[in-house]
Amino acid sequence: MLDNHLSDDNAEHAGNAGSANENRHNWTRAEARAIYDLPFNDLLFRAQIVHREHFDPNVVQKSQLLSIKTGGCAEDCSYCSQSARYKTGLKASKLMAVEEVMKGARAAKEKGATRYCMGAAWRSPKQRDMDVVLAMVSGVKSLGLETCMTLGMLSDEEVGQLRDAGLDYYNHNIDTSERYYPEVITTRTFADRLETLERVRNSGMKVCSGGILGMGETEDDRLDMLVTLANLDEHPESVPINMLMPMDGTPMEGIDKIDGIAFVRAIAVARIMMPKSHVRLSAGRSEMSDELQALCFFAGANSIFCGEQLLTADNPGEDADDALFAKLGLKGEAVGESGNTA
């Protein structure tokens, strides 16, 4: 049994993680910390057991992300080059036309994406833009792709409109812990984030929510973020874990890069605490070696963003991903497959 190999200091709390099949919503930071602190080989072994209970370990879901409205955002997220408050050299753009989005979605599907994610640099959408946004959702859905959007905070009316248009997922990251959140963003609160997530969940849409690692937070902040997500009434169906890519002109432009092993540990904890969620290896892959990405996949990451661009950040591109998948014996999830074997 795995627990026989745990250190005495960690065995009591880590053993409380339960069976690989258990889908809990009452995690404590002490339990998360005990799992995180396991010897690295034990941690990855435990995560891989959980992963195989619920997913094909050699299948990775591919999403494509498109910025449908770039820059000029009123928020002050310290990591974001799209904030109007920072001099990043990014020129604000208008909302894209529906046909431009459809062209990108068709190309993404041809290259193996099964989900098309659309993001707008807004604090919240304006009603005058909703007709175009809803047409984007309906159009992409008609291609047989899963649809996802991130538009900021939503009202009940906007949530209902998106649901009725066929939106499958709504992305709204909590970014970090509640304690560290005011150090990153001051123009909205942590509670605001959770309120939007609750509206989305209550509507019947699926939730995509994760965070960013490497913003100067502590390990406990990272664990608290994962505990918050794991203790929601329902786990997010998708949990994107981003590695900060410091952007010139933002308050975080000179921040030190997170240690790779610490990043993998967080991926593994996310997999163990949210066993049925797709854990997405998100921003930062362009700065990761093949070996680091392979460790993330072994730790339970089973979703990526494909393509060469993530909103305003670089991404490896399809050729690099195809080569990596070939080396690792991985394949993309087919359209219509959830990948979940539970």
* Active site positions, annotated: 73, 77, 80, 117, 148, 208, 280
> Which tokens in the block code for residue 261?
């092993």
> Which tokens in the block code for residue 299?
């730790």
Nearest C-alpha neighbor of 231 from the set 197, 264, 265: 197
List alpha helices for the chain, DSSP H: 8-15, 29-36, 40-54, 98-110, 127-142, 156-165, 181-184, 190-203, 219-230, 260-273, 290-298, 318-328
3-state secondary structure of 245: coil
Please, what is the Cα angle at 314 between 308 and 315, to 5 degrees?
50
DSSP 158: H
For the chain, percent helix, then strand, then coil, each to nearest 5?
Answer: 40, 15, 40
Nearest C-alpha neighbor of 189 from the set 177, 199, 181, 201: 181
Is-contact 282 61, C-beta < 8 A?
Answer: no
Q: Radius of gyration (Cα) for the chain, nearest Å?
A: 19
> Which tokens in the block code for residue 148?
């996802």
> Which tokens in the block code for residue 18?
């339960």
